Amino acid sequence: MSVGPESLQSVFDRAFESISRARTAFTPQLTLREVGFVTNVSTGIATVSGLPGVGYEELLQFPGGLLGIAFNVDEDEIGVILLGEYAALRAGDEVARTGRVMDVAVGEALLGRVIDPLGRPLDGKGVPATDQRLPVERAAPAIMDRAPVTVPLQTGLKVVDALIPIGRGQRELILGDRQTGKTAIAIDTILNQRGQNVLCIYCAIGQRASAVAKVVANLSEKGAMDYTVVVVAEGNEAPGLVYITPYAATSIAEYFMEKGRDVLIVFDDLTQHARAYRELSLLLRRPPGREAFPGDIFYIHSRMLERATHLGQERGSGSLTALPIVETEAQDISAYIPTNLISITDGQIYLSPVLFELGVLPAVDVGKSVSRVGGAAQRAAYRAVAGNIKLAYAQFEELEAFAKFGTRLDESTRQSIDHGRRIRACLKQSESQPVSLLEQIAMLLALTEGLFDKVSLERVNDAEQALRKAAADIPADVIERLSTADKQSDADRKAILEVVTRALAPFQTPPEAKHDPNSAT
């Protein structure tokens, strides 16, 4: 098809007219962009000049997509914490302001995912489809927005739920020497939240990649990843990335809390976090204090843990329960970082290496552990059967130490030691085997009534297993009242006691055939 000269001219005229209209309508948009340059690069930090308007903790953009946080804002230069691999960064490279602070992607899409504090996926499943971001540093809820901690957070660990109860919205420190089972307690608590309508955040701070992979595999195998978010900064990451990890994890948890959900967050562990912050502070030439930690080392943890709370009804009644973990050296709980965290939190669970070596697992030292919420976070039925256990156990530990001197003991003392040994045997528990609330109430009632005292120590474990199976025979109406009633009735107690007595009867030894308790180990 041929086009005549007149037709071609009309096409050109229309095109010219269209271009002219577009040129007339175009208004150039001028954006003011403040750009500086890198003057020095060190391990995990950089010094920047030429950004006079930068704000404290503002996010800065470096070449190659590298981000940094303005941490030291001095008159002539800025000390920047680098958030990622900085090997390619050189002096003279351009750096630009972003005009925003460090934030993290939040949303339901994060459940079941493994991410780093920048929101990048580490599980090979692609970038999570989130549409909201929250700053990693946020103000803690005001006092008037908070409600008392009254609802228990069942850990599934008998020794914790009975003697050191944790409530939803509480901050309970887990501390002990390395390899004493601190992470195991936290992971067992996450596993026990299945079906409890509690979302979980596991925050791995400076951990080995193999240790994190083991935890993720355990959570996946037990089906816990369905309600869990794992936020990871490995030990070989830049110290700046390790430093922001717990703050990013807390913001993710706060998103769910503000939606009215109950959330559990585990910080594993804050010793590594404190060391990363010390490294950054020394590199930035901040004045060192005790043990070379900077003067604000207390504040970096207190402002984060203060965000864990139980919100009032006006704010949705959500809760954020924190289980920070800290490592001690040579059982020294009076060291700098442990004492700081003990003073910040609402109690602590201390794991003893001595008990661990003796095979008393979990190795919780009841004498050095405490919950400052206590019975207020226990259900009425549970509190009724667990009330005397801690006192009896504490008396047993004192008497057992006294009995090692070979002193002749009276009958009452022998009975107390005999009873205490059975309490300790019943509180032992294997890893990844949480015990339900109903089974714990049945076991504690049997201990309180002295039914286990007639069972030889060698058969206590078998008797406990039989008791846990028999707990399913407790009437349904009694089970319902255990979770809702303000006070345990005598009739309910009697109904449970009947089931417990039947279950333990085959394991009980007649008094005349019972061996001397002093011979038991």
Q: What is the DSSP string of 266-324?
A: EEE-HHHHHHHHHHHHHHTTPPB-GGG-BTTHHHHHHHHHTT--BB-GGGTS-EEEEEE
372 catalytic residue (yes or no): yes
Location of each CATH 3.40.50.300 domain in the chain: 105-376
In the block, which residue shows the tokens 């669970």? 349
Tokens of 119: 């929101």
Q: Which value, to the nearest 10 degrees, does the dihedral of the CA atoms of residues 229, 432, 150, 364 take?
A: -120
Inter-residue contact 110 to 226 (CB < 8 Å)? no
The yes/no answer on whether domain 105-376 falls in CATH 3.40.50.300 is yes
Task: Say how far apart CA 34 and CA 448 lie, in whole Å.
Answer: 71
HSE-up of 70 (CA within 13 Å, CB side)? 28
Tokens of 256: 């769910």
Q: Pick 35-101's CATH classification: 3.30.470.20, 3.40.190.10, 2.40.30.20, 2.60.120.10.
A: 2.40.30.20
What's the CA angle centered on 363, arms 393 and 228, to 5 degrees?
120
pTM score, two decimals?
A: 0.89
Instruction: Please report the sign of the dihedral spanned by the C-alpha atoms of residue 497, residue 498, residue 503, residue 508.
Output: positive
Task: Say how far apart CA 147 and CA 398 lie, in whole Å.
Answer: 38
Amino acid letter at 228? T
**Topology (CATH level 3) of domain 384-519:** Lysin (1.20.150)
* Active-site pick, 372, 379, 422, 468: 372
Location of each CATH 1.20.150.20 domain in the chain: 384-519
What's the CA angle centered on 258, arms 254 and 260, to 5 degrees?
120
- What is the residue-level pLDDT of the chain in tens, covering all 521 positions? 455 556 777 877 788 788 888 877 777 776 778 899 999 999 999 999 999 999 999 999 999 999 999 999 998 899 999 999 999 999 999 999 999 999 999 999 999 999 999 999 999 999 999 989 999 999 999 999 999 999 999 999 999 999 999 999 999 999 999 999 999 999 999 999 999 999 999 999 999 999 999 999 999 999 999 999 999 999 999 999 999 999 999 999 999 999 999 999 999 999 999 999 999 999 999 999 999 999 999 999 999 999 999 999 999 999 999 999 999 999 999 999 999 999 999 999 999 999 999 999 999 999 899 999 878 888 888 888 887 898 899 889 888 877 777 667 788 888 999 999 999 999 999 998 999 999 999 999 999 999 999 999 999 999 999 999 999 888 888 888 887 767 878 888 899 999 999 999 999 886 554 444 444 43
Burial bucket for residue 247 (CB in 10 Å: 0-12, 13-18, 19+): buried
What's the CA angle centered on 377, arms 373 and 382, to 5 degrees?
130
Location of each CATH 2.40.30.20 domain in the chain: 35-101
